[in-house]
Amino acid sequence: MPDPIIADNDVAESELVTRRGTFRAVAFAYGGHEHMALVYGRAPVHADVLVRVHSECLTGDVFGAMRCECGEQLGAALDAIVGEGSGILVYLRGQEGRGIGLVAKVRTHVLQDEEGMDTVDSATSLGLPVDVRDYTPAARILAHLGVRSVRLMSNNPDKIASLEEHGITVTARVPLLMPPHDGNIAYLRAKRDRLGHDLPQLEEFAIGERHG
């Protein structure tokens, strides 16, 4: 059963001209945070829409940090949407560090750099949850935009399950695979091995490495 639509009072939209093209930028206040959907393409689309649900990562998205692949995924998703001629990027705020917040995320970075912990252990050793992201706002935003089913650009099976749980049908998962490098390989391996993300491109990196 689809979620209720968000109240008009909590929504505003305008055109947004970007270097990639002109989007419809729709801002939503929902669940204590403000989110944005970037809608591309003239005709409204309702089924099998190419969609990225992107969790805010200030360090990766804005500052281009190399320790995660968030910024690259954001750019690649927008490129894919523009390349296809239509699609929607839902940018979810309040999801730093898989939901633990920016200060806590930076604390996990210290443990990763100084203790060699991975992205999971660095959170749990601080008594923090590994992933508390809630995709309800994304499902409500998509429903508000009239979207019933999506082709979701994601490597995260949990995200698909969560959207479906909230009434959005995922007709296909479109991998969004960023090339690994020395700066993010440990992070990506932890995501694959400990969080269940589907990251087949990491196999090639292993082949290219020297062992012994």
Binding site residues, Zn ion, CB under 5 A: 57, 60, 68, 70
Please indicate if the annotation marks 183 as binding a ligand.
no
Non-local CB neighbours of 89 within 8 Å, separated by 6+ positions: 37, 38, 40, 51, 52, 54, 74, 77, 78, 81
Would you say 57 or 152 has its CB closer to Zn ion? 57
Is 20 marked active-site?
Answer: no
Closest separation between CB of residue 68 and Zn ion, Å? 3
* 14 annotated as belonging to a binding site for a ligand: no
Is 114 among the annotated ligand-binding positions? no
Of 46 and 181, the one with the shorter C-beta distance to Zn ion is: 181
Q: Is 189 a residue of the active site?
A: no
At 14, the amino acid letter reads S
Query: Closest separation between CB of residue 147 and Zn ion, Å?
Result: 25
Shortest gap between Cβ of 96 and Zn ion (angstroms)?
8
Q: Which of the residues 107, 118, 133, 140 is marked catalytic?
A: 133
Known binding-site positions for Zn(2+):
57, 68, 70
* Active site positions, annotated: 131, 133
